[in-house]
Structure 1
């Protein structure tokens, strides 16, 4: 007998839970926000653009009219903005922090406001600083969770701690895959340290497989892609899924009672490209304690924000 595909309807009520989601104005972050809001969670859309956040909130409220959804300005590529946003976010308990936002790729090497290579500076350092600044609030919230967005791209490149900024022979995909590997290294290391300190806060990682806007359910004004024609959707659907489906591993990691710290959630199908959300295996490089410790120390130095308990 085939096991029914998992859906967010199987989650318990999230009423009274406050969830902060970075980049929840579009893509995977939007779907994570919608699914959790529809289960009763209070959702904070942490994003740069008020206009885009307002559209996302309106879309969520059109499907969950009683939901409590708000916006806080957050630009992960600007550490001063991260500090300001953290102060606002920390004013209330945080049950779940979803580190979702990120730069996917850039043909030409870009830089953050603080002079870091754009993908490493945003995906790794921005979220590191945000998590560190929100840690006291997370620790004071019993059984809180931090969910970081990983990627199957971590499989394709080793971490080079001598060149995290991509100074040598910059390549967009290599920079992206290393940044996602960096996110995963820190997230798994964070859970190890939380458990060693016997704290109830947990850190998990999730990834969306191969997820495309064009295969997602319609959300006017939210999705970035154009509707695919029937042939294209059929062809892509053989090995890809919509971002609504791609968000489900994050949703389970964030709110499913069966999830536990240190787990890696992703699609259950071939090569983790698509499928029902389940616990999957990450490459050993993502759990290397030595590399994670060095990267953690570098992140503290580069951001000027210690991540301590």
Structure 2
């Protein structure tokens, strides 16, 4: 695939976790709009299946593969080193994520898997990838969640080292993602950078309610009660991807904004600006989370060099 600069109006968007679920549908929608899409995936076979599926639905899709395992900081560094070879990158759509099980799992560096992938992996990826972003039009889109409403972070231990409480850990990881996204917007602005940091969430989005893509594996099975209610309280993951795509390439998007579905409880609907809980904007917690994240990943942000 050519790494030449896209035509005017077209953008290059790197989508993490593009092989399934929200990431897949976001990648397909971006390709349908004529953008070049970098499919940043952990599993080459699933990445290849996603590419074939997109090409079935989008003529002349411009797709590039990038191997990226967010649960391994070595892979994160290697993937970031390849970005300059793709030409100007206009957006990082940080979508990939995992939901844990009853027993804790670990990343390659020993972090709890959900925090290690959803937050720390993307934290390091963003820091290392920022220099490759177009400095005038670049965007970083962070995948938030309505689950942040049910989470808090300990001000003295924002990464919850040594603690594991099943699905509560997922909510914490998503609150961390949002704190990071809003804090990055503040710090980019303070540094005089024109790069935008935006948070978006999909609402209550289900694989079962999305158009069938038989070549692409669902991200996870959904309970029967969710599938039964998908017609009135939820939406497909294709619709759930709309706020992400809008945040990445839509007009009128400003740094520090939060986009999500406009329906009741933000479960479904067209993309619109939505409120986040105040805890997602707590700059004291965000600063401590930032410091802790830099310490454990060994990655720092050189924001002054971007201005």
TM-score normalised by L of structure 1: 0.90
Cα 1:141/1:40, change in 2 over 3 Å: farther
Where has structure 1 moved over 3 Å in runs of 4 or more? 13-16, 225-229, 231-235
1:234 to 1:191, Cα distance in 2 relative to 1, 3 A: same
Residue 96 of structure 1 corresponds to which residue in structure 2?
A: 91
Q: CA deviation at 1:228?
A: 10
Q: Which residue pairs with 1:299 in the alignment?
A: 293
After TM superposition, give the deviation of residue 15 of structure 1 in Å: 4.8
| Length, aligned pairs only | 294
Distance 2:38 2:89 in 1: 10
CA deviation map 1:100-148 (0-9, x unaligned)? 001122221111000111111111110011000011112x432110000
Give yes or no for contact 1:15–1:39 (8 Å, CA) kept in 2: no
Distance in structure 1 (CA, Å) of the matches to 2:221 and 2:113: 27
Alignment partner, residue 213 of structure 1: 207
The residue aligned with 1:146 is 140
Could you say if the C-alpha distance between residues 227 and 176 of structure 1 is closer, same or farther in structure 2, counting changes exceeding 3 Å? closer
Structure 1 unaligned runs (5+)?
1-12
Instruction: For structure 2, list consecutive stretches of 5 or more residues without a partner in the other structure.
Output: 1-6
The structural deviation recorded for 1:223 is: 4.2
Q: Does 1:167 align with 2:162?
A: yes
Matches within 5 A, 1:56-205: 56-91=50-85, 92-138=87-133, 140-161=134-155, 162=157, 164-165=159-160, 167-168=162-163, 170-205=164-199
Q: Does 1:29 align with 2:23?
A: yes
Asked whether the 8 Å contact 2:26–2:242 carries over to 1, the reply is yes
Does the 8 Å contact 2:148/2:175 carry over to 1? yes
Distance 1:17 1:149 in 2: 20
Residue 72 of structure 1 aligns to a residue whose secondary structure is strand
Aligned CA distance change for structure 1 residues 27 and 132 (closer, same or farther; 3 Å)? same
Measured on the aligned residues, the alpha-carbon RMSD in Å equals 2.0
Change in CA separation of 1:226 and 1:116 when aligned onto 2, cut-off 3 Å: closer
Contact between 2:91 and 2:141, CA under 8 Å: does it hold in 1?
yes
Bigger shift: residues 90-99 or 149-158: 90-99
Q: Which residue of 2 aligns with 1:7?
A: none
**Structure 2 counterpart of 1:265, from 241, 259, 263:** 259
Kept after mapping to 2: 8 A contact 1:166/1:175? no
Task: Report Cα offsets for 1:250-279 as digits up to 9, x if no partner.
Answer: 011111112111110111111111111111
Task: Using structure 2 for the length normalisation, give the TM-score.
Answer: 0.91
Shift of 1:61: 1.2
Q: Assess, with a 3 A threshold, how the Cα gap between structure 1 residues 198 and 48 changes in structure 2: closer, same or farther.
A: same
Comparing 23-32 with 234-243, greater Cα deviation is found at: 234-243
